[in-house]
Each structure stands twice: as structure tokens, then as C-alpha cells.
Structure 1
Amino acid sequence: MKLEYVVCISVLGLSMLAHQGSAIVCYECNSHKDPRCAEEVLPDELLKNCSENVKGSQYILCRKIVQTIDFVVNENPPDSRTIRSCGSNNASYSDSCYSRGGFGGRQEVCTCMTDKCNHASPLYVGSSLIIPPILLIFANLF
């Protein structure tokens, strides 16, 4: 019976690795050029197979960036824009969000590792958050 659990965990882990190595489909747009990019429900026309980009094999995640400029900077008025794109691996921030701020503005950057995952809210739950609890459950069975 223990062997069945080990095989199940191995298959689950390998399937997740196989998905991460395959082409991912993400929304690619910039609300500064296309206002639909800032909407909650995005049209399929904004989807792109990341493998079609130059050096497509390096793109393994989707990214959503919300940039906000709070006041006039370099004669540019206050502004907010949403940018969605394919992204390459950044192990520090995969399947998570982080914020940065500076003179007059800030940005929130979120990454995720499943198809079309850069569509809505910045709260993504990725496979890296699901695997540890599953392994803990199986470990307690032995």
C-alpha cells in the first residue's frame, strides 16, 4: 500500500514538471495602448502562446503588473496602467506577488504558472502552494 502512495506522488510531481516545461498561454497587453487590458473579463484576442515569442522556450509563467503614478512626474499626469505578459523564471517570485515603490509611483507584480492565470485579481494560488500540504498528508499516512 505504501508503494501506491509513492507512485501517486511521483506521477503528480512529474505531471506538474511536465506542465511547467510546456508552452504556457498568457494574456499579453498594455492598458496604455488597449484599455481592455485593465478590465476584469478579458477577450480571447489578448491571449498569446508564449512559445511564439522570441526565445519562447524561456517563457514559463504569466505576469500581471499594475503601475500607478500618483502625481505629475516629468510633465506626465497621474496615471495607472495594467500590463500583462509572458514571463521567464524568477524563482524568488514564482506564483506570488510583490510590490515596489519609488518617487511618485508604485507597482504590484504578480506571477503565476498556469494558462490564462494573469487575467484578474493579483491573488494567485499556484502549484507550489498546493504540493506541500499534499505531501504532508501523505507523510502522515506512513
Structure 2
Amino acid sequence: MAFKYFLEILVLAVCVEFGSSIRCYECNSANNSMCLNPTIYDTETVQKYLRATSCDHSAFLGPNPPAAKQMFCRKIIQTILHKGHDAEVRVTRGCGWVRHHKDCYKADNEDHLETVCQCFTDDCNGAMTLKHSLVITFISLGLILLKYY
């Protein structure tokens, strides 16, 4: 009987992430070319060279992030227009705190074009997302509970 409860606590401890902050990739293609398109790299390389950060500890936010706002992940693609030169594309991934009413939107300024996308799950602004991990966790937990009850 004690083993059953130990197993349930162990499954919960392994599968449930504590805390309320979201984890996002944080990079700028100006100094990390992998930030442009991480989908062309394997998972191990992305994990090694593309920094993921907890949004409550984001370098871009400083020491006191806006606590009243719910943080999210954001990806910004900028096409910088240089007069007389080729356009330059830059990608910035990081944490956001001022939401837009659309998940993705475009901005057109005099010197650059911008596409901004926001998302609300861990590492969603990177190459690969684990959308099904929560479903798999609950199915596994359900199967374990069915076996022991």
C-alpha cells in the first residue's frame, strides 16, 4: 500500500513543473546565427547553443520584471532596410510582457518591416515544442492509477 502512494508521489514530482514562470528561448541572430532558424539543427545542438531562460530571470527585462503582467514567449523577425544596400533579416527570441490581441502581427516602419509572434507554453518560440507532453503525462498518470486501484 505504501509503495502505491510512493509511486504516485514520484510520478507527480517528475511530471509536474513547479513555479509559474514560462521558459523561452532568448537570442538575437545578430550574435547567434542559430537564432535565425533553429529547425535546421538537431535537438542536442539547439539545447547546447540556444539559451532558454525563465522569463522571471530574463536578461532583457532587468532585475525587476513587471510582476503584474503574465509573461509569454515572443519571436520578432525584422527586415532592416538599408538605403543603397541589401536588406538584412534579424530574428530576436525572448520574453514578452505586453500582449497583443493577435498571436502574430506585422508592423511596417520607414526603415524596417517586422513580424511579431507570441506564444504561451515553454520553449514555444524556438524550433521544437513539446505540445503533447502534458497529455502524455496525464495519460501515464491515469494508467498508473488504474493499475493500482
Same fold (TM over 0.5): yes
In the alignment, the residues of structure 2 paired with residue 70 and residue 113 of structure 1 have an alpha-carbon distance, to the nearest angstrom, of 30
Question: Matched residue of 1:32: which SS?
Answer: coil
- Deviation by residue 1:60-119 (Cα, 9 ceiling, x = unmatched): 10000000024427xx752110000101142534xx000001224200000011100111
In the alignment, the residues of structure 1 paired with residue 33 and residue 112 of structure 2 have an alpha-carbon distance, to the nearest angstrom, of 20
- For residue 107 of structure 1, what is the aligned residue in structure 2? 114
CA RMSD of aligned residues (A): 2.9
- For residue 72 of structure 2, what is the aligned residue in structure 1? 61
Opposite residue 64 of structure 1, the aligned amino acid is K
| Alignment partner of 1:35 is 2:33 | yes
Q: Compared with structure 1, are the counterparts of its residues 80 and 47 closer, same or farther at alpha carbon in structure 2 (3 Å cutoff)?
A: same
Q: Which runs of 5+ in 1 are unaligned?
A: 1-18, 126-142
| Alignment partner of 1:80 is 2:89 | yes
Q: Give the TM-score normalised by structure 1.
A: 0.58
Q: Compared with structure 1, are the counterparts of its residues 59 and 34 closer, same or farther at alpha carbon in structure 2 (3 Å cutoff)?
A: farther
Deviates more, 1:79-88 or 1:102-111: 102-111
Number of matched pairs: 99
- For residue 54 of structure 2, what is the aligned residue in structure 1? 49
Question: Matched residue of 1:111: which SS?
Answer: strand
In the alignment, the residues of structure 2 paired with residue 86 and residue 26 of structure 1 have an alpha-carbon distance, to the nearest angstrom, of 6
- For residue 136 of structure 1, what is the aligned residue in structure 2? none
Q: Give the conservation status (yes or no) of the 8 Å contact 1:63–1:109.
A: yes
In the alignment, the residues of structure 2 paired with residue 106 and residue 91 of structure 1 have an alpha-carbon distance, to the nearest angstrom, of 17
- Structure having the higher strand fraction is 1
Aligned-residue identity in percent:
32
Opposite residue 51 of structure 2, the aligned amino acid is L
In the alignment, the residues of structure 1 paired with residue 37 and residue 126 of structure 2 have an alpha-carbon distance, to the nearest angstrom, of 9
